[in-house]
Amino acid sequence: MTEPFAPSSVPRDPEVPGGPADLALLPTGGAPPLRADAARNRTRLLEVAARLAGERGIANVTMDDIACGAGVGKGTVFRRFGDRTGLLVELLSHHEQRLQTAFLSGPAPLGPGAPPAERLHAFGPAVLRHEHAHRDLYLAAHMEPGRRRSAPAYRFRLAHVRMLLREARAGGDGELVAHLLLGYLETVLVDHLLTTHGMPLERVEAGWRDLVDRYTARCDHRDS
């Protein structure tokens, strides 16, 4: 499945050639902005799809279900999303944009206003809980790691984590450390830990904070 596109307001990373990361909301030549009524219709359909997916799992939601829940004809759903895959892509993008808004402009410590290490502390649990809440959708999207890492949504997170590591004056290769940290948050790995090993989410979150501490020199390293 194609990854969602990230918003056009992005964290700037001067270490990336060309300045800001290439994380446009739409690919080059993308569709023009929707009319107000079409945008409202899209939002309504996505809200219904998200609610149904939360109640019964995305695999058990049909285009008919969404049309019925939104009070429109099935043809309207197909015209808006094209097919089921198109719906899943837009639904994932819808969820991803909400998460991105939280760490770009939401309240601290996830959003601006807190020290960078504290923002990194908050970033991991926010991603873990967000993706866990939409588990089946993210699992379907992230089964191919190569495709995931080349997607705008991943590059957006990478630029954000690199920015915070740099602001925290973390040591080491910032780009490699950012990839390593994001690897810890990968949906397939986290789901394996939670479902196969029965590990509580709180333990995974604590592991994230410990990893951040080690790379931002906030622990004394006596056990390393």
Residues 52-64 have pLDDT tens digits of: 888 888 888 889 9
More confident residue, 47 or 25: 47
Encode pLDDT of 160-171 as tens digits. Answer: 999 999 999 998
Considering the entire predicted model, what is its pTM?
Answer: 0.71
CATH of the domain at 105: 1.10.357
Q: Shortest CA distance to 156 belongs to which of 145, 148, 166?
A: 148
Whether residue 136 is found in the same domain as residue 169: yes
What confidence tier does 34 reach under pLDDT thresholds 50, 70, 90? low
Whether residue 69 is found in the same domain as residue 180: no
Give yes or no for a contact between 141 and 201, defined as CB atoms under 8 angstroms apart.
Answer: no
Does 110 have pLDDT greater than 50? yes
- Alpha-carbon radius of gyration of the chain: 19
Q: Shortest CA distance to 93 belongs to which of 1, 186, 16?
A: 1
**To 10 degrees, what angle do helices 74-81 and 63-70 make?**
110
Nearest-10 Cα torsion for 48, 54, 58, 64: -30
Tokens of 153: 């949504």
Domain membership of residue 117 as a residue range: 84-215
If one counts the domains in the chain, the total is: 2
Give yes or no for a contact between 158 and 182, defined as CB atoms under 8 angstroms apart.
Answer: yes
Tokens of 130: 């967000």
Give yes or no for a contact between 33 and 171, defined as CB atoms under 8 angstroms apart.
Answer: no
Domain boundary among 64, 82, 100: 82
Encode pLDDT of 178-203 as tens digits. Answer: 999 999 999 999 999 999 999 999 99
Whether residue 76 is found in the same domain as residue 96: no
Sign of CA dihedral 35, 30, 25, 57: positive
Encode pLDDT of 5-15 as tens digits. Answer: 333 344 544 44
Whether residue 151 is found in the same domain as residue 182: yes
Spatial separation of the C-alpha atoms in residues 186 and 127, rounded to whole Å: 9
